[in-house]
Structure 1
């Protein structure tokens, strides 16, 4: 019963973003920014103005979109926005427990801009969206969690066919170890044309994921010095 109560408390903290102020600010900020995008569209802004402010399409010309594209999402459908909000809600909040509020905000801002700008430079195509920053949190969360809980990694310590808390933690660590590799392979495959990419910015996703992984590794290394 203690484990169940602990699980319920943890779930409640995640759902209502308790002790996750920076993550809540990011989620609310993205939603409000999208409202601003829709207002600009309804106000009759020209296509060129929308691209100038909300996308990286005008690169190599310097424009606000080189920064603001990391906050902006498709005008056609909110699905892209909601997917990124869901990732931040689930993964960003837990990452905040290790990072701290200001670090979370800086991490989101830097990885988001790096992802959209480098994606545009490498592909010569305009982009928009917070997916790079969202996947950066995925990369950080997976690597940092595995490193922080490496003592629970071994499944050999758990009796066979015994589903215990230790077994679940060990299994979860295995999944977290595999996840960045699977995502990276998928995004690289989309980039090279091996896997159908649809309309997703696979390069931006891959860059964000790599940024998150490298940051987690570097952060852990510095903490041991």
Structure 2
């Protein structure tokens, strides 16, 4: 018998958890956690208004990160998959769109004429490229990873915080690509943002004291796929992967690191602002080099 195993959630016995309700001390999983003034409470204690000092109607269910628990915990993930699919289909119908959306540091010759890049002021490419794919296997693999990794993370963080991790991780990945690759190298794909979601998941799993081996195994596997070549025609942007992963780790620490309290939101959005400013600084330094 494994005496070190964590207890199961009282509402979902198959989900091990190291978190307990601050009021009744029953074990609760991320889906059942509701942020309170101190720690987390279970749905029953919140519904009864136990120990809160407020009427039951004043208690709004919160995620682990303090966001409002949504009716559809995977809505943003579904929307992101839909946007990626729509842009992919648009690129099939109008290939010139790909040239306008992919990440380029400086212009290259396309269709008989020059195409400008980030260094000439087209900063939108840093994010538009995150939603762009040109191969079926590329978008299929990325969207599968987005659904598997993103869905549970969205449920744990809430919609707004989850979207912030995704966008900032994509931006961080693009910034590192822009800094370290040749300026005429086209780069595209959601991999940087997905690696960022994986980084935030590592922080979340650690915060909840869950078993780390599965998520660490996934990180190692994805890094192996990043750096070990499998076939001569496959080109992977390790810069986007590493930039996204590091950004996701940093933003994840800000999102789930602080305990519930008045300063929690300040720490969370302050971390997001710091990640954005860091990416912006990298972009400005590279732009100064190329102009």
TM-score if structure 2 supplies the norm length?
0.54
Structure 2 match to 1:116? 174
Structure 1 match to 2:213? 174
Local SS of the residue matching 2:258: helix
Alignment match of 1:55 (pick from 95, 103, 114): 103
Query: How far has the Cα of 1:99 moved from its partner?
Result: 1.2
Structure 1 match to 2:241? 205
Higher mean Cα deviation, 107-116 or 88-97? 107-116
Local SS of the residue matching 1:204: helix
- TM-superposition CA deviations, 1:44-99 (whole Å, max 9, x none): x3xxx64233332524222242321111112xx22111111111111100001111
Over 3 Å counting, the alpha-carbon distance change for 1:56 and 1:113 in structure 2 is farther
CA separation in 1, counterparts of 2:74 and 2:258?
A: 24
- TM-superposition CA deviations, 1:131-184 (whole Å, max 9, x none): 000111111112211321x2x5xxxxxxxxxxxxxxxxx4xx223245435645
Larger C-alpha radius of gyration, 1 or 2?
A: 2
Say if 2:165 and 2:251, in contact at 8 Å, map to a contact too.
no
Over 3 Å counting, the alpha-carbon distance change for 1:216 and 1:50 in structure 2 is closer
Structure with greater proportional helix content = 1
CA RMSD of aligned residues (A): 2.8
TM-score if structure 1 supplies the norm length?
0.68
- Report 1 or 2 for greater relative contact order, CA contacts < 8 Å, sequence distance ≥ 6: 1
Segments of structure 2 that go 5 or more residues without pairing to the other structure are: 1-11, 15-71, 106-116, 264-291
- TM-superposition CA deviations, 1:107-134 (whole Å, max 9, x none): 2222112212321221223311110001
